[in-house]
Amino acid sequence: MNTLSKQLPIFTPDNEPYLGRESVYHFDQVILSCLEANAEIAAFTHKNKNELSDLQKAGCQLIPQGINLSLSIRELVRQGYLFAAAVLMRSLIERTATISYLHEKPEEITLWKNGWQYKERPSLAKMLATMNKEVDTKQAQEYAIPLIP
């Protein structure tokens, strides 16, 4: 039997190709922290769903989506599908930037409530600019442009 036929088609946590990488370890830790925090917050929001602000309601959609995307990215990295993981990074960044933008500009929550229509919502570069007060829109665009399909 040759070596190729002995290789498993699926990697497990014990034999994944990027096991031991510091960046992957830190990503795992962030995901665990987010899952724990979200479990607590979900219990609160389910109990108080009629009392949530519009921003909290948006967060109840965007944050779990971001966690799900993170888990998907992590599994793709585990299997060695780095390009597919990189493609999902845009979606994760968009959700992070959206909730940050809505937090910084609460008057824009009506855009969210109206369906966050493509031609009405701010660009990713504009939303990224609200995440760091020292970064101007031009610099944020430099981060966003490589992600545009």
d(CA 78, CA 68): 15
The structure's pTM equals 0.80
Could you write out the DSSP letters of every residue in 95-141? HHHHHHHHHH-GGGHHHHHTT--TTTSPPHHHHHHTT-TTS-HHHHH
Q: Could you tell me if residue 69 is inside a domain?
A: yes
d(CA 102, CA 111): 9
d(CA 100, CA 130): 7
Q: Could you tell me if residue 113 is inside a domain?
A: yes
d(CA 40, CA 43): 5
Range of the domain at 44: 19-147
d(CA 35, CA 42): 10
- Residues with Cβ within 8 Å of 129's Cβ and at least 6 positions away in sequence, in order, are 135, 136, 137, 139, 140
Domain count, the chain: 1
> 86: which 2 tokens?
């990189």
Q: Could you tell me if residue 53 is inside a domain?
A: yes
pLDDT tens sequence across 114-127: 999 999 999 988 89
pLDDT tens sequence across 6-39: 666 788 888 888 888 999 999 999 999 999 999 9
